[in-house]
Amino acid sequence: MNCIIIDDEATARMIISQLCSNVPSLNVLEAFPNAIQAIKYLNQNHIDLIFLDIHMPDFTGFDFIETLKNPPKIILTTSDPNFAIQAFEYDCIVDYLVKPILQKRFDKAIQKAEAKVSKVLKDASAKAEKVEVTSGNDLYVNIDRRLIKIDIPSIYLIEAKGDYIQVKTEHKNYTVHSTLKKIEIKLPKDLFLKIHRSYIINVQKIIDIEDNSVLIKKDVVPVSRSNRPELMKRLNLL
Amino acid sequence: MEQPNQSYINNLSGDDKVFKQKLIDVIKKEFPEEKQVYFDYLNAKNYKRAADSVHKLKHKISILGLEKSYDVAVSYEENLLEGSTDQKEAFESILQIITEYIVEI
């Protein structure tokens, strides 16, 4: 993890650097005597973790956190244990170390930070993957050992039929050995909605809605009571 | 009266004598500066800033293993924030002990 140290006390900066040097996964890039200098640095560099002193004259550690739009993970370092409750109001703060800091306690804080940083990376990668699925316009389905490409926006209805699903498009219908649950996660959420335990529809293809059913192309599809509120939310009602 | 020690510094330094000496040098340089800032604010009756200085000095007190003195500093910092100089003498005698100690190390 790339990290920086912000502390107005030279002794503290030196001690934290030494504690960091005993942890192979940490790479201390800079140490700053005040938060203002650190803000300039953060605008140009990617940092995973900050060791931040709370009690600094003029511009405190909390003032500093408030200025950051997307703060990295932060470990607070302080001589004052009374700020602990306030500290945990911030999601970016992973731990709170009271000076003088011992290596054992420091290592524990790093373990917490590593877990949080790796979660952030994992979430970011999952998000990227999700975008990939939803941004693509094609879905490949396995029919008789052939992978057949279906243009996602052309799908208007998917119906569960036992161990199969029937995918209806503007041009053709496909019967696929799969489940609604499996196909649902492959479809863009802004376009498709499950309106019944056996039906997923493309909301852009709706012709009209009457009571508890939707007319979509030539199909009349039931809407379950529990799914109706979500369907109504999706409609641009006058 | 409680006496300073290098237990924390030794623990932190391990076998790294170069780091230990560097740390001691930084403390020797920084402590008198912080102490002077404290006296300047106190003489100017700027108790809020004097309390900030005490807060900063607390770290040096703890690094030098002065556990009871640390408690005195905590109380004195709180007093200053309330505009009182109670425990001033006790705190300043700690500063004097540290001053004498760092000359020797």
Which of A24-33, A41-50, A142-151, A205-214 is predicted with the least confidence, judged by mean pLDDT? A142-151
Given this model, what pLDDT does residue A135 score? Answer: 46
Q: Which residues of chain B are modeled with pLDDT < 70?
A: none
Q: Most B CBs within 10 Å: which of A7, A9, A11, A34, as the mutation test of the B interface?
A: A11
| Interchain proximity B23–A18, CB inside 8 Å | yes
Where does the pLDDT of residue A132 fall: very low under 50, low under 70, confident under 90, or very high at 90 and above? very low
What is the rounded distance in angstroms from the CA atom of residue A47 to the CA atom of residue A55? 22
B89: left (phi > 0), else alpha (psi -120 to 50), else beta? alpha
Q: How far is B31 from chain A (nearest CA, A)?
A: 9
What is the rounded distance in angstroms from the CA atom of residue A197 to the CA atom of residue B2? 75
Give the 3-state secondary structure of residue A26.
Answer: coil
Where does the pLDDT of residue A134 fall: very low under 50, low under 70, confident under 90, or very high at 90 and above? very low
Where does the pLDDT of residue A142 fall: very low under 50, low under 70, confident under 90, or very high at 90 and above? confident
What is the rounded distance in angstroms from the CA atom of residue A81 to the CA atom of residue A101? 12
Q: What are phi and psi of A231, to 5 degrees?
A: -65, -45
Sign for the CA dihedral angle at A147, A160, A235, A209 comes to positive
| Interchain proximity B13–A18, CB inside 8 Å | yes
E strand or H helix at A183: helix A180-184
Where does the pLDDT of residue A129 fall: very low under 50, low under 70, confident under 90, or very high at 90 and above? very low
| Interchain proximity B30–A14, CB inside 8 Å | no
A107 has a chain B CB within 8 A of its CB: no
User: A65: closest CA among A92, A86, A83, A47?
Assistant: A92
B73-102 residues touching A, CB cutoff 8 A: none
Where does the pLDDT of residue A130 fall: very low under 50, low under 70, confident under 90, or very high at 90 and above? very low
Token pair 């003029």: residue? A58
Q: Most B CBs within 10 Å: which of A8, A14, A56, A106, as the mutation test of the B interface?
A: A14
Side-chain-side CA neighbours of B67 within 13 Å: the count stands at 2
Chain B residues with CB-CB distance to A19 below 8 A: 12
| Interchain proximity A8–B19, CB inside 8 Å | no
User: pTM score > 0.90 for this model?
Assistant: no
Where does the pLDDT of residue A23 fall: very low under 50, low under 70, confident under 90, or very high at 90 and above? very high
B35 has a chain A CB within 8 A of its CB: no
Q: What are phi and psi of A159, to 5 degrees?
A: -120, 135
pLDDT tens digits along A28-82: 999 999 998 999 899 888 899 999 999 887 788 989 998 888 899 999 999 888 8
Sign for the CA dihedral angle at A129, A131, A134, A136 comes to negative
A152 has a chain B CB within 8 A of its CB: no
A214 beta partners: A209, A221
E strand or H helix at A25: none
Find the Cα–Cα–Cα–Cα dihedral B74, B75, B78, B82, rounded to 10°. Answer: -160
> Does residue A100 have a cis bond before it (omega within 30 degrees)?
yes
Per the CB < 8 A criterion, the answer to whether A65 and A94 are in contact is no
The ipTM is: 0.95
Mean pLDDT of A125-133: 49
